[in-house]
Amino acid sequence: MQEWSIQDLARAAGVTSRTLRHYGDRGLLEPSRIGSNGYRYYDADSLLRLQRILLLRDLGLGLTAIAGVLAGRQDAASALETHLDLLERERERLGRQIDAVRTTLYRTEKGEPLMAEEMFDGFEHTQYKDEVEQRWGTKAYADGNRWWTSMDDAQRRDWKADVARLSQDWIAAAESGVAPDSAHAQDLARRHVQWLSSVPGTPAWSGHSTGSTPGHSRAPVREYVLGLADMYVDDERFAANYGGRAGAEFVRDALRTYMK
């Protein structure tokens, strides 16, 4: 019977050995046998199971949902419903952006006056205007909006890329099985608070350049960060940024440790 070591399987699948061990600890992919030397080995059935796991991950399912699918507790279609809902919301937002840019182009070419309400429909910095003002006040939104509109397209792209990298690093850390209080997770928490401190108008805003970190002694900052951490878990829109609820819980726990 052909089998593969954990290193060989990781290399073939394009994942890390730590990821495979984490999948094993979560009951998703247990080795077919463990050698006398403690090494993990996987057979052909394991390869097929890993292929299915990676497919479901590519479709956007978190590990908890994948476990349910593999165990037969939940079919793949129902597990994908939440992910599909998020994708449809994103498609709707992108559609509104396209319409906004198309309208702006038309008005520009025709020499007609531009309408702010049309130009910015669907764009991130206005999408949650009411929610931001309700949570943190009109000044918070005004300061953040002023900061966002002051940047050029390249600066906005760079900022979004940094945020995307942070989210991906959180997901990778959560799936690797490291503890929320580990050095790696705490470094991510530091980067996360640093990112929050770079956005004017929020309670974490340091008043300095991007990269400065507010002192932990300020109670409003701690309350703000911990409040966001809870929101990441409770609100599926935010949980999706960290691979689902399980990933969001990892982020929350790491931030709680960091802000002690």
pLDDT digits (tens, 9 = 90+) for 195-224: 888 777 667 776 533 333 434 445 568 888
Look up tokens 């990892």; give the residue.
250
pLDDT at site 209: 37
Extract long-range pairs of 196-205: CB within 8 Å, 24+ residues apart. 196/224, 196/225, 196/228, 199/144, 199/147, 200/143, 200/144, 200/146, 200/147, 201/136, 201/139, 201/140, 201/141, 201/142, 201/143, 201/144, 201/145, 201/147, 202/136, 202/140, 202/144, 203/136, 205/143
Mean pLDDT, the chain, rounded, equals 77
- Confidence band for 98, pLDDT divided at 50, 70 and 90: confident
pLDDT at residue 159 is higher than 80: no
Q: What's the pLDDT at 218?
A: 54
Does pLDDT of 119 surpass 50? no
**pLDDT of 125:** 47
- What pLDDT does residue 213 have? 42
| Residue 134: exposure state from Cβ atoms within 10 A (0-12, 13-18, ≥19) | exposed
Q: How far is CA 200 from the centre of its chain?
A: 21
Question: Could you tell me the two tokens for 141?
Answer: 């939104």
The answer to whether residue 128 scores a pLDDT higher than 60 is: no
- Structure confidence at residue 32 (pLDDT): 94
CA gap 194, 38 in Å, rounded: 41
> Torsion angle of alpha carbons 255, 204, 231, 162, nearest 10°?
-80
The mean-pLDDT minimum among 33-47, 149-163, 229-243 falls in 149-163
Residue 237 has a CB neighbour count (10 Å cut-off) of 13
* Domain over 4-72 is classified CATH 3.40.50.300: no
* The pLDDT of residue 78 is above 90: no
pLDDT at residue 30 tops 90: yes
Q: Phi then psi for 178, rounded to 5 degrees?
A: -70, 155
Calpha distance 223→100 (Å, rounded):
37
- Please report the pLDDT score of residue 168 as a whole number: 84
Residue 232 pLDDT > 50: yes
Amino acid at 233: V
Q: What percent of the chain has pLDDT over 70?
A: 68
Q: Is the pLDDT score of 20 beyond 50?
A: yes
Q: Is the per-residue pLDDT at 121 higher than 90?
A: no
For residues 6 and 39, the answer to whether their CB atoms sit within 8 Å is yes
Six-digit token string for 146: 């002023």
What residue ranges do the domains of the chain occupy? 4-72, 80-122, 128-258
Q: What is the pLDDT of residues 176-186, one digit of tens each?
A: 999 999 999 99
Task: Inform me whether the pLDDT recorded for 154 exceeds 50.
Answer: yes
